[in-house]
Structure 1
Amino acid sequence: MNWFTRVRNSLPFIPKRTTDDTLWIKCPGCTEMIFAREYHENLDVCPRCEHHGRMGADARLDLLLDGGYRILPAPQVREDPLKFRDTKRYTERLKQARAKSTHSDAFTVADGTVEDFRAVIGVQDFGFMGGSMGMAVGSAFVAGAEHALNVRAPYVVVTAAGGARMQEGILSLMQMPKATVMTRRLKAAGLPYIVILADPTTGGVTASYAMLGDIHIAEPGALIGFAGQRVIQDTIREQLPEGFQRAEYLHKHGMVDMVVHRSELKATLATVLDYLTPRAVA
């Protein structure tokens, strides 16, 4: 034990105190330091460079829905069906993710109104194991679509995912056709299916329900794609354009209908619902 360690251990240091007023956040876009309170009050958007940060499920639902919405119960699925283990057991990773979240998995569905327009909204939380799509996510997506069919309401999904959940192997990939079938059922029933693409939306989610909407709305700067840019470049052996796979590039090339600032997202969604929601004939 050196002299510094002996002195440090013998002194009665007071634990460092932190509050919401003294915490800072480093913007991933401009790298400026921002007060956490200022950042969250600005809907997790940098007030300096307009970089759109990632939002949790509850914050996203509060943003889009009017007060008094109801969160639907999460479907029960078999956990760790493959008894998967890498550096940790899959069950341990789930336990750690749930300790940081108020929900049991990465996809949460709520029933409510958007400026008085009835809607069922499903939100994918990137903070829960990268928003990865496993059986729980697939089952929650299907349950949300089933509920929308039952109540005859539009289904709105906010995507944010790194792709399929590797700990569930082929079972995670099976969620892609399952979710795709539900989007076809919504279409057959004449109900709008609207997708809001948040950062990032990649992998199997992009290859299934994320790109099957009637309307696609993206947040500014959102990364949207199937494979990573480096993988694509190595495959085709060509340099990709600047901003490739970003929301603005996809909008310019017709893959996204509109790019909307987060502060205007609820009003824009309400306008879209006003256009697309079936109206009763008097």
Structure 2
Amino acid sequence: MSWFKRQEYKIENEGEKTVRTEGLWIKCDSCDQVIFKADLEANLHVCPKCGHHFRISARTRIDLLLEPGYEIVDTELKSTDPLKFSDLKSYKSRLKKAQKDTGLNDAILNAVGKLGDHEIVLSVMEYAFIGGSMGAVVGETIARAVDRAYESRKPLIIVAASGGARMMEGIVSLMQLAKISAALGRLDDEKIPFISILTDPTTGGVTASFAMLGDLNIAEPNALIGFAGPRVIEQTIRQKLPEGFQRSEFLLEHGFLDAVVNRKEMKSYLSRALDFMKQPSQDKVAG
């Protein structure tokens, strides 16, 4: 015999009485702190308790770095599927979903505008678009940013956020590494500044090419930066890796980075760096 009987109550107009809180709170992956979304946005998507830097979109990154009135450029390119690639899903379906989810044609945005007092060319990768992987469109768009900086003699800043080359495009993807690196060589010959910002994560072919070729290579705190992932390396060398291996602070300590900069200080840091790098030839062009 049951001592208690569950009684079900039907609430009339339940939808009208429900207070919706979904999406208003975010849990920090690092310290498990539950943060009000509006407070997190006001804090530049950095956890106020532990300082964990959340991943942010390319558009948000541009808004944080450039003054209002900047111009988005080089948006007309779209990836094709020359290899008719398919694994669990077809490449075409992955592209369509990524384009719908992000509102972008591919994993990159170029912009021209002012960072403080400096006219710059900015290229920002979008990790939410197939892991920020670099295919033909990403490579060509970054190359166009380099060319734009070369022709206008404006400093170039590239913000990397990528899992590496896009395997669905095969050798065409790998070609972009050499293409961008060669273009950056022309920039270096003309003494036009290039600053590389590495965010979480920056791995694979992106790290092996342009992300490490800056006149100044800086990263956000605790960003994962490397070529192969830590698990792959451990399985290959059959050794336990040091704590913090491939994180920004580890790379700074071992000479692979010039600085690790908090997101709140990034814009002012870049402005000071550009002041230092400013070339007399730029003044002549501006005059």
Q: Give TM-score scaled by structure 2 length.
A: 0.90
1:69 matched to 2:70? The reply is yes
In the TM superposition, residue 88 of structure 1 has moved relative to its aligned partner by: 1.7
Gaps of 5+ in 1: 1-6
| Identity within the alignment, % | 48
Preserved contact between residue 78 and residue 105 of structure 2 (Cα < 8 Å): no
Preserved contact between residue 76 and residue 136 of structure 1 (Cα < 8 Å): yes
Secondary structure at the aligned position of 1:74 is classed as coil
1:254 matched to 2:255? The reply is yes
Secondary structure at the aligned position of 1:100 is classed as helix
**Letter of the aligned partner of 2:223 in structure 1?**
A
Q: In the superposition, relative to structure 1, how do residues 8 and 208 fare at CA in structure 2: closer, same or farther (>3 Å)?
A: farther
Secondary structure at the aligned position of 1:103 is classed as coil
1:96 matched to 2:103? The reply is no
**Separation of aligned partners in 2, 1:17 and 1:93:** 35
**Letter of the aligned partner of 2:142 in structure 1?**
F
State how 1:228-247 maps to structure 2 within 5 Å: 228-247=229-248
Q: Which moved more, 1:69-78 or 1:189-198?
A: 69-78
Q: In the superposition, relative to structure 1, how do residues 275 and 91 fare at CA in structure 2: closer, same or farther (>3 Å)?
A: same
Q: Deviations over 1:84-128 (max 9, x none)?
A: 112222111111111122321111110011101111010011111
State how 1:8-157 maps to structure 2 within 5 Å: 14=15, 18=20, 23-76=24-77, 78-157=79-158
Alignment: residue pair count: 275
In the TM superposition, residue 41 of structure 1 has moved relative to its aligned partner by: 1.1
Q: In the superposition, relative to structure 1, how do residues 154 and 8 fare at CA in structure 2: closer, same or farther (>3 Å)?
A: farther
**Letter of the aligned partner of 1:157 in structure 2?**
I
User: What residue is the counterpart of 1:188 in the other structure?
Assistant: 189
**Separation of aligned partners in 2, 1:8 and 1:230:** 52
**Separation of aligned partners in 1, 2:236 and 2:136:** 30
Preserved contact between residue 164 and residue 206 of structure 2 (Cα < 8 Å): yes
Q: Give TM-score scaled by structure 1 length.
A: 0.92
**Letter of the aligned partner of 1:104 in structure 2?**
N
User: What residue is the counterpart of 1:212 in the other structure?
Assistant: 213
In the TM superposition, residue 277 of structure 1 has moved relative to its aligned partner by: 2.1
**Letter of the aligned partner of 1:224 in structure 2?**
I
Q: In the superposition, relative to structure 1, how do residues 18 and 84 fare at CA in structure 2: closer, same or farther (>3 Å)?
A: farther
Q: In the superposition, relative to structure 1, how do residues 107 and 17 fare at CA in structure 2: closer, same or farther (>3 Å)?
A: farther
**Separation of aligned partners in 2, 1:206 and 1:109:** 19
Q: After TM superposition, which residue ranges in structure 1, 4 or more long, deviate above 6 angstroms?
A: none
**Separation of aligned partners in 2, 1:278 and 1:163:** 33
Q: In the superposition, relative to structure 1, how do residues 8 and 145 fare at CA in structure 2: closer, same or farther (>3 Å)?
A: farther
**Separation of aligned partners in 1, 2:97 and 2:189:** 40
In the TM superposition, residue 12 of structure 1 has moved relative to its aligned partner by: 6.8
**Separation of aligned partners in 2, 1:78 and 1:243:** 36
In the TM superposition, residue 57 of structure 1 has moved relative to its aligned partner by: 0.8
Gaps of 5+ in 2: 1-7
